[in-house]
């Protein structure tokens, strides 16, 4: 064994045997910010194991840095250090005028430098999938140990007819009547905010949270407050950013799939995903120059595929890392 390989083996052994220091879900860890070179603020949160392998998690649509908190117990079990940045306009991240999906990798690289991460894995869930793909295209390949797309948004060029009618209407509004879409989203948020604060809703939420109480240390009241914050934090700066991202996700992403040369790309999708239909993911997978590891879970939907997350994380971050 050469000296370099021996050092690498030793570091891996240390990482596996080092006691995991769990990251608490206090505001100091989930409400972090950094200043980007153009003056914008980037919000992010940390979860899982502080001494674990770093994974940059890209939230879905319309969500923010808090989405990953729902998976914190899995990240802890697998000893993964998760960093969850939020895109411009969501949560704590300030708006970036006229932003594009391909602008996102620069923010991720800046965050990695801020946290002194020389190498990390990437996962994009749902609406975060195209942003993970943009990172595979734009970031230095040596920075990424793997890139994963989990139930990711599909390419609308495969045919809008694959999408549910409500999404097709939203897409048209995002393009031709953004003020109407902003207003509609604001109305939905208002309805939810008022409805979820009623006694009946509180009781039902508490009953739901009690079902898996063994996985959590927090009280039901604390977890209900966290759940409500997950729902409403993405709209802390209004509904404009969500309306704008609806436009970005339903138009050409600006990614030239044939130019993606990164060779450790993993894509997992559900066979019966009506939220992000499988044909729209298969469309861009066929255009990739480097064929990814592509797994379709039969019988699963957009909202049940998470039960395979432990298997997915094992593939994305092997024990040898």
- The pLDDT value given to residue 127: 98
Q: So what's the pLDDT on residue 210?
A: 82
Please give the pLDDT value at position 213: 61
Return d(Cα 103, Cα 105) in angstroms, integer: 6
CB atoms within 10 A of CB 94: 18
Give the closest residue to 159 by CA, choosing from 301, 303, 282.
282
Q: What is the pLDDT along the chain (321 residues), one digit of tens a residue?
A: 333 333 333 333 334 446 788 887 677 899 999 999 999 999 999 999 999 999 999 999 999 999 999 899 999 999 999 999 999 999 999 999 999 999 999 999 999 999 999 999 999 999 999 999 999 999 999 999 999 999 999 999 999 999 999 999 999 999 999 999 999 999 999 999 999 989 998 888 888 888 766 555 678 888 888 999 999 999 999 999 999 999 999 999 999 999 999 999 999 999 999 999 999 999 999 999 989 999 999 999 999 999 999 999 999 998 767
What is the model's pLDDT at position 112? 98
Q: Residue 144: which residues within 8 A CB-CB, separation 6 or more?
A: 119, 120, 121, 122, 135, 136, 262, 264
What pLDDT shows up at residue 320? Answer: 62
Give the percent of the chain with pLDDT over 70. Answer: 91
Give the model confidence (pLDDT) of 120-143 as tens digits: 999 999 999 999 999 999 999 999
Q: How far apart are CA 198 and CA 283, in angstroms?
A: 44
Yes or no: say if 146 and 317 are a contact pair by the CB < 8 Å rule. yes
d(CA 130, CA 124): 8
Would you state the pLDDT for residue 5?
34
| Rounded alpha-carbon distances, angstroms, from residue 263 to 133, 291, 292 | 12, 8, 7
pTM: 0.91
User: Tens digits of per-residue pLDDT, 49-78?
Assistant: 999 999 999 999 999 999 999 899 999 999
Give the fold, CATH level 3, of 27-161+252-316.
Rossmann fold (3.40.50)
Residues 104 and 88: their CA atoms lie apart, in Å, by: 9
Instruction: Quote the pLDDT of residue 13.
Output: 35
Confidence (pLDDT) at 186: 98
Q: What's residue 212's pLDDT?
A: 67
pLDDT at 215: 59
Confidence (pLDDT) at 18: 61
Structure confidence at residue 138 (pLDDT): 97
Domain map (residue ranges) of the chain: 27-161+252-316
pLDDT at 230: 95
């Amino acid at each position: 064994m050469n000296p370099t390989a021996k050092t690498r083996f030793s570091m891996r052994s240390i990482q596996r045997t080092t006691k995991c220091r769990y990251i608490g879900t206090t505001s100091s860890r989930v409400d972090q910010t950094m200043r980007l070179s153009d003056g914008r603020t980037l919000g992010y949160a940390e979860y899982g194991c502080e001494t674990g392998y770093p994974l940059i998690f890209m939230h879905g649509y319309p969500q923010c840095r808090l989405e990953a908190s729902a998976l914190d117990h899995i990240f802890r079990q697998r000893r993964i250090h998760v960093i969850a940045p939020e895109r411009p306009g969501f949560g704590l991240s300030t708006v970036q005028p006229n932003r594009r999906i391909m602008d996102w990798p620069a923010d991720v690289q800046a965050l990695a430098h801020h946290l002194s991460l020389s190498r990390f894995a990437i996962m994009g869930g749902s609406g975060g999938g195209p942003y993970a793909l943009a990172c595979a295209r734009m970031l230095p390949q040596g920075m990424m140990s793997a890139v994963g797309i989990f139930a990711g948004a599909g390419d609308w060029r495969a045919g809008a007819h694959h999408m549910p009618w409500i999404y097709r209407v939203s897409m048209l509004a995002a393009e031709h009547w953004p003020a109407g879409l902003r207003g509609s989203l604001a109305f939905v948020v208002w309805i939810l905010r008022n409805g979820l604060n009623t006694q009946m809703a509180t009781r039902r939420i508490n009953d739901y949270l009690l079902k898996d109480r063994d996985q959590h240390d927090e009280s039901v009241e604390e977890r209900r407050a966290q759940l409500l914050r997950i729902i409403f934090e993405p709209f802390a700066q209004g509904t404009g950013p969500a309306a704008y991202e609806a436009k970005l996700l339903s138009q050409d992403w600006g990614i030239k799939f044939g130019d993606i040369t990164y060779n450790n790309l993993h894509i997992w999708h559900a066979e019966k995903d009506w939220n992000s239909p499988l044909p729209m993911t298969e469309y861009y997978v066929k255009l990739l120059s480097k064929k990814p590891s592509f797994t379709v879970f039969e019988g699963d939907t957009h909202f049940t595929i998470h039960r395979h997350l432990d298997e997915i994380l094992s593939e994305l971050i092997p024990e040898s890392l």
